[in-house]
Amino acid sequence: MKPCLLIPNFDHGAEIVGVIDSLEFVGLPCLIVDDGSGPETRAILDELARSRTWVDVHRRPHNGGRGAALKTGYRIARERGFTNALQLDADGQHDAADAPRFLAEMEREPEALVLGAPQFDETAPKSRLYGRQLSRGMVWLITLSFDVTDPLCGFRGIPLAATVDLIDSVATGDHMEFDPQLVIRLHWAGVPVRNVPTRVVYRSGGLSHFDGLRDNTRLTAMYTRSLVGLLPRLPKILAGGWSRKGVGAR
């Protein structure tokens, strides 16, 4: 396994330096995909790339959304010869001290999708917790399994070959719906899923790009399309042809 760190970023200039410095002990090259941030954040990222030789910044010219930034990062990482990416968010919510546990799970099973199973404290907004429960239920229904503890957590280990092959062959969303959509599609494709408990903190005054109306509408549309996509797989399942590899194994 040849892993790297991958962080999508949009205007998290106030948090990104702390996130990067908290990951230095891991000893891996880090790719930051900047999704059209403003001049202040761009200047901070330029300084990070200059002062920390293990950090590289790829700049997208315009803000295209979280999913678009991640897909760009996956393709670049694979082109550079990495086999796996340990993905974290740029807002400081994830506990970098858990990175070795993710990497150990990735090392044990490099072809698996390793998902963070969030352990929340009192900082988590109740609305977000309720939304996560709904997303969990939808993914359990769509995958016909309980393999996925949480489909939304951005702290995850990505098997790059399977992921890039998928996003190059199937249309996927460019915004917040991409994270659970990727989980569903990889599960359908037979990629094993492993879950790693990890602490997640919602920081007071932190910048969030999640738009309740717009992104929940996108999530609802994606789950609806995925349910429709499940239907052609049902005869195989009911006929007993479904293996543990997943409902979409080909």
Considering only residues 62 and 237, tell me which one the structure prediction assigns the higher pLDDT: 62
Q: What pLDDT digit, counting tens, does each position of 181-192 carry?
A: 999 999 999 999
pLDDT at 249 over 60: no
Q: Rounded to two decimals, what is the model's pTM?
A: 0.88
Q: Which residue has the higher pLDDT, 201 or 61?
A: 61
What is 150-215 written as a DSSP string?
Answer: -S--S-EEEEHHHHHHHHHHS---SSTTHHHHHHHHHHHTT--EEEEEEEE---TT------HHHH
pLDDT single digits (tens) 217-232? 999 999 999 999 988 8
pLDDT score, position 246: 43
Quick: pLDDT tens for 161-179.
999 999 999 999 999 899 9
Q: What is the pLDDT of residue 233?
A: 80
- pLDDT on residue 132: 79
Q: How confident is the model over 84-141, as pLDDT tens digits?
A: 999 999 998 999 999 999 999 999 999 999 999 998 766 666 566 677 789 999 999 9
